[in-house]
Chain A
Amino acid sequence: MEVFERADLAAAVVTAGGQHGNDPHNALQVCLQLQQQFSCVPADAVPMLAHQLHTTTGHITSLVSFYSFLSETPRGLYDLYISDSISDHMQGSRQLLHRLCLALGVRPGEPRLDGRVTVSPTYCTGLCDQGPAGLVNGHPLTRLDDSRIDTISRLIENAVPLDQWPRELFTVEHRIYRRDLLLGTPLERGDALRSIADQTPEEVLRELAASGLNGRGGARFPTALKWRMCREASSETRYVVCNADEGEPGTFKDRVLLADYADDVIEGMTVCARVIGAREGFIYLRGEYAWLRPHLEWVLQRRRGNDLLGDAILGDSNWQFDISIHMGAGAYICGEESALIESLEGKRGTPRNRPPYPVTAGYLQQPTVVNNVETLFSAAHIAARGSAWFGTSGAGGTKLHSVSGHCERPGIYEFPVGCSVGEVVTAAGGDGAIAVQVAGAAGELLLAEEFQRCIDLNTLKTSGSFIIFGPDHDLFTTTANFTRFFAHETCGFCAPCRTGTQLARSVVDRMAAGRAFGRDREAIDRLIDVTPALSHCGLGGTAMNPLRDLRDKCPQRYQALFSEDDTSVLHFDLEQELSEIKTLTGEIPEAEQ
């Protein structure tokens, strides 16, 4: 294993720390920088980091153990992730992962001894519309197939630097198949700011409230009310945070907005800042989207140059607001707003007790608005054009859907709020679909007979994930994939979710292996009742939805997963379970293993 020179580590720690003000609140950002440099956060660097950032070694190790994209041991020159999110899974991501591992002579998740490469499975990389997808050293890999996998393994074996890899491996397309109010009428840079420049915050809030805009991140909280609560909370300092964690499997509309409409999103943040009285904002960008960061930095810089951001917005020195980008590191839970704030403060992403809500005690305990990318994007358009314009297509305007799975045209669809599931399926060419998963793993499975249901605030909330399942799809695959996802992503803070998700995964694993029994069925029934009821946050609150939906909506498939043969002793192969110790003590020679 690679050994790092202490002097190199010390220099890297001093540089990274210095670039982040040696502030313990930036510990995660500093760790990420080290990870990039050394492909790990080396154990020897931990005390140095603690010293440099005026914090404890426990704090640093707590981050390394929590975030998937930080590792203790070097991942090597090429650090690969292959998405096993359901949409990618349906396109054969598993086989591709194994093909790559076989070609490179590695096991998934384990670094190759020569320090060349690590290949790990991961969940959604936000590229479901052009999967199977993956990441190499943070760069997106799209449309993977056997031949691309073989190309990649050759490039790695030959140690070809990334900038000499064929560009088409990295091509990301942003396909928008249906444009409505928002995507159909582009905003000139600064339009929203100019139109609110003469309005009072009250006037802006009144327009926003009249538009009926509510949160696009999934919870659908009225945006104007959120801003008002923050504005009215007593404090000198307030913050705006753009939630660009987009971790829900199957969602990628925020990616498209950040890539093609970054100005609009940032403009929405600037409008919000003006209304609530904030001078500082953050974009919390998920680690999987690190490749979007240079573009976003460039847009921010251009806006500063155009007086649309910075010390004197539109030349008004009383209007000051700036934005910095904070990176996430591969934790779905950090999309939950209070966990996100913890992460912004450089800690593990453990959801906070609520109340107090972020609007009164958020970042650094100051009033903070956390909004989804699309919410801010929509707010900018409403600020520029008025509430009546947004309201024309029915209450609450339009919503973006990220459509993937078994359909002809996976991509972005903007539909009026209240459209039916079937309309989206048809538009995407999902003929013959047997089911759709709306709102991702945390959402709901809808069978074909439910396709007339409307996607709106009261009946079917969604973050915008829309995964279509064709006639040959086994819905248990989806259940298993999502259940494992939650077991992987639970933050571990509270027992009902920490243990509940693991128990659910172990049953699902046994179902897949044909070793689930009647008592497991009872165990699942209990988990479905208990886990959401006792969990601390929304992750535990929704983690059992996939099993619940399979049980309630596909009873035949569900029953077939259990064998009634409920003998009192489970299958347990003692000899197999003793294989390691036998090898270690020489009872069986290593070669036989």
Chain B
Amino acid sequence: MRSTTPQGNCDVIQREPGQKIRIASCSLAGCFGCHMSMLDIDELVVEVVHHLEYCRGPLNDVRELRDVDVGVVEGALCNEDNVKVLEQFRANCDLLVAVGACAINGGLPAMRNHFGLTACLKEAYLDAEGVVNPEIPRDAELPRLLNRVRPIQEVVKVDYFLPGCPPPAAAFTELFTALIEGREPAFDEDMVRFD
């Protein structure tokens, strides 16, 4: 199967000879499992560093984002901070890739939608057995939670989707290889997983 979306266009990324493709990544409401899988590309990493430049993300803790070619987004939107980071990514990346069940469908974090935010917080901070000082946390440092957890394409346009929880390393390998070779990625059936 050729997956997952023909919406994007890997060949939009024009580069001068010797110029590296700029990549950024972030983990919104995710578990970093997708990032782990991305790091699992083994010896390809040797090849990749020649062609790709990792300019922002949890791996180097840089926060600033400018003129990025490809943004890799793990995780769903669960709080206001997630929304801001995502908007920043969309505004500054030519291509946006949603990786993992959380980014694509809401995944594990979205399980709270079933109960509602209010019920979840009440159970955790007010009503549960053994709670001392029952109080819903409120602090300027704490991003406020959204009513519902949402997948990212409900808020921004997404160019590519790598499904899976997490997507297999082979899918990242294909994505990066395709970027380097300047062609559309072609994902084999076994790289396109939903669970």
Indicate whether A and B interact.
yes
A residues touching B (Cβ–Cβ < 8 Å)?
495-496, 499, 502, 506, 519, 522, 526, 566, 568-570, 572, 574, 576-587
The tally of residues in B whose CB lies under 8 Å from a CB in A reads 26
Partner of B146, one of A499, A502, A570, A577: A577
| A526-B147 in contact (CB<8A) | no
Which B residue sits closest to A502, measured CB to CB?
Answer: B105
Partner of A526, one of B5, B136, B157: B5
Asked if B15 is at the interface (CB within 8 A of a chain A CB), the reply is no
For residue B144, which residues in chain A have a CB less than 8 angstroms away from its CB?
A: 578, 581-582, 585
B residues touching A (Cβ–Cβ < 8 Å)?
5-7, 80, 83, 87, 90-91, 105, 116-118, 121, 136, 138, 144-148, 154-157, 194-195
For residue B148, which residues in chain A have a CB less than 8 angstroms away from its CB?
A: 577
For residue A579, which residues in chain B have a CB less than 8 angstroms away from its CB?
A: 147
| B7-A519 in contact (CB<8A) | yes
For residue B194, which residues in chain A have a CB less than 8 angstroms away from its CB?
A: 495-496, 499
| A574-B80 in contact (CB<8A) | yes
| B138-A572 in contact (CB<8A) | no
Rounded to whole angstroms, the CA-CA distance of A581 and B5 in the bound complex is: 35
For residue B138, which residues in chain A have a CB less than 8 angstroms away from its CB?
A: 585-587
| A574-B83 in contact (CB<8A) | yes
Interface of A, secondary structure class, is helix
| A585-B154 in contact (CB<8A) | no
Which A residue sits closest to B121, measured CB to CB?
Answer: A584
| B90-A584 in contact (CB<8A) | no
Rounded to whole angstroms, the CA-CA distance of A568 and B116 in the bound complex is: 29
Known: A499-B194, A566-B157, A568-B156. A580 touches B117 (CB 8 A): yes
| B87-A584 in contact (CB<8A) | no
State how many angstroms separate the Cβ of A107 from the closest Cβ of chain B: 13
Which B residue sits closest to A499, measured CB to CB?
Answer: B105
State how many angstroms separate the Cβ of B100 from the closest Cβ of chain A: 13
| A506-B154 in contact (CB<8A) | yes
Rounded to whole angstroms, the CA-CA distance of A580 and B80 in the bound complex is: 13
Rounded to whole angstroms, the CA-CA distance of A580 and B146 in the bound complex is: 8
Which B residue sits closest to A576, measured CB to CB?
Answer: B147
Rounded to whole angstroms, the CA-CA distance of A578 and B6 in the bound complex is: 34
| B157-A519 in contact (CB<8A) | yes
For residue A568, which residues in chain B have a CB less than 8 angstroms away from its CB?
A: 90-91, 156-157
State how many angstroms separate the Cβ of A580 from the closest Cβ of chain B: 5
| B136-A578 in contact (CB<8A) | no
Which A residue sits closest to B147, measured CB to CB?
Answer: A580
Which B residue sits closest to A519, measured CB to CB?
Answer: B157
Rounded to whole angstroms, the CA-CA distance of A229 and B79 in the bound complex is: 58
Which B residue sits closest to A575, measured CB to CB?
Answer: B80
State how many angstroms separate the Cβ of A533 from the closest Cβ of chain B: 9
For residue A570, which residues in chain B have a CB less than 8 angstroms away from its CB?
A: 154-157
For residue A587, which residues in chain B have a CB less than 8 angstroms away from its CB?
A: 138
Rounded to whole angstroms, the CA-CA distance of A578 and B136 in the bound complex is: 15
Rounded to whole angstroms, the CA-CA distance of A585 and B139 in the bound complex is: 10
For A502, A568, A570, A581, the residue with the greatest tally of chain B CB atoms inside 10 Å of its CB is A581
| B136-A584 in contact (CB<8A) | yes
Rounded to whole angstroms, the CA-CA distance of A566 and B7 in the bound complex is: 13
For residue B90, which residues in chain A have a CB less than 8 angstroms away from its CB?
A: 568-569
For residue A578, which residues in chain B have a CB less than 8 angstroms away from its CB?
A: 80, 144-147
Rounded to whole angstroms, the CA-CA distance of A506 and B80 in the bound complex is: 22
Rounded to whole angstroms, the CA-CA distance of A480 and B83 in the bound complex is: 29
State how many angstroms separate the Cβ of A43 from the closest Cβ of chain B: 14
State how many angstroms separate the Cβ of B6 from the closest Cβ of chain A: 8
Rounded to whole angstroms, the CA-CA distance of A584 and B144 in the bound complex is: 11
For residue B155, which residues in chain A have a CB less than 8 angstroms away from its CB?
A: 569-570, 572
For residue A566, which residues in chain B have a CB less than 8 angstroms away from its CB?
A: 157
Rounded to whole angstroms, the CA-CA distance of A355 and B171 in the bound complex is: 32
Which B residue sits closest to A583, measured CB to CB?
Answer: B118
State how many angstroms separate the Cβ of A72 from the closest Cβ of chain B: 12
State how many angstroms separate the Cβ of A497 from the closest Cβ of chain B: 11
Partner of B7, one of A522, A574, A581, A585: A522
4 closest residue pairs by CB, A with B:
A495-B194, A585-B138, A577-B146, A580-B117
Given A519-B157, A578-B146, 19 extra CB contacts under 8 A: A496-B194, A506-B154, A522-B6, A569-B155, A569-B156, A570-B156, A572-B83, A572-B154, A577-B147, A577-B148, A578-B80, A580-B145, A581-B117, A581-B144, A581-B146, A583-B118, A584-B136, A585-B138, A585-B144
For B6, B138, B148, the residue with the greatest tally of chain A CB atoms inside 10 Å of its CB is B138
For residue B154, which residues in chain A have a CB less than 8 angstroms away from its CB?
A: 506, 570, 572
Rounded to whole angstroms, the CA-CA distance of A499 and B90 in the bound complex is: 24
For residue A583, which residues in chain B have a CB less than 8 angstroms away from its CB?
A: 118
| B157-A581 in contact (CB<8A) | no
Rounded to whole angstroms, the CA-CA distance of A506 and B104 in the bound complex is: 13
Rounded to whole angstroms, the CA-CA distance of A570 and B144 in the bound complex is: 20
For A506, A578, A583, A587, the residue with the greatest tally of chain B CB atoms inside 10 Å of its CB is A578
State how many angstroms separate the Cβ of B97 from the closest Cβ of chain A: 15
For residue B5, which residues in chain A have a CB less than 8 angstroms away from its CB?
A: 522, 526
Rounded to whole angstroms, the CA-CA distance of A578 and B142 in the bound complex is: 13
For residue A496, which residues in chain B have a CB less than 8 angstroms away from its CB?
A: 194
State how many angstroms separate the Cβ of B192 from the closest Cβ of chain A: 10
Rounded to whole angstroms, the CA-CA distance of A585 and B145 in the bound complex is: 11
State how many angstroms separate the Cβ of A142 from the closest Cβ of chain B: 34
| B118-A584 in contact (CB<8A) | yes
For A496, A502, A506, A577, the residue with the greatest tally of chain B CB atoms inside 10 Å of its CB is A577
| B83-A581 in contact (CB<8A) | no
Which B residue sits closest to A510, measured CB to CB?
Answer: B154
Rounded to whole angstroms, the CA-CA distance of A586 and B136 in the bound complex is: 10
Rounded to whole angstroms, the CA-CA distance of A353 and B116 in the bound complex is: 35
For residue B105, which residues in chain A have a CB less than 8 angstroms away from its CB?
A: 499, 502
Rounded to whole angstroms, the CA-CA distance of A499 and B87 in the bound complex is: 25
Rounded to whole angstroms, the CA-CA distance of A584 and B137 in the bound complex is: 9
State how many angstroms separate the Cβ of B103 from the closest Cβ of chain A: 13
| B117-A585 in contact (CB<8A) | no
Rounded to whole angstroms, the CA-CA distance of A577 and B105 in the bound complex is: 18
Which A residue sits closest to B158, measured CB to CB?
Answer: A519
Rounded to whole angstroms, the CA-CA distance of A250 and B161 in the bound complex is: 38
Rounded to whole angstroms, the CA-CA distance of A507 and B148 in the bound complex is: 17
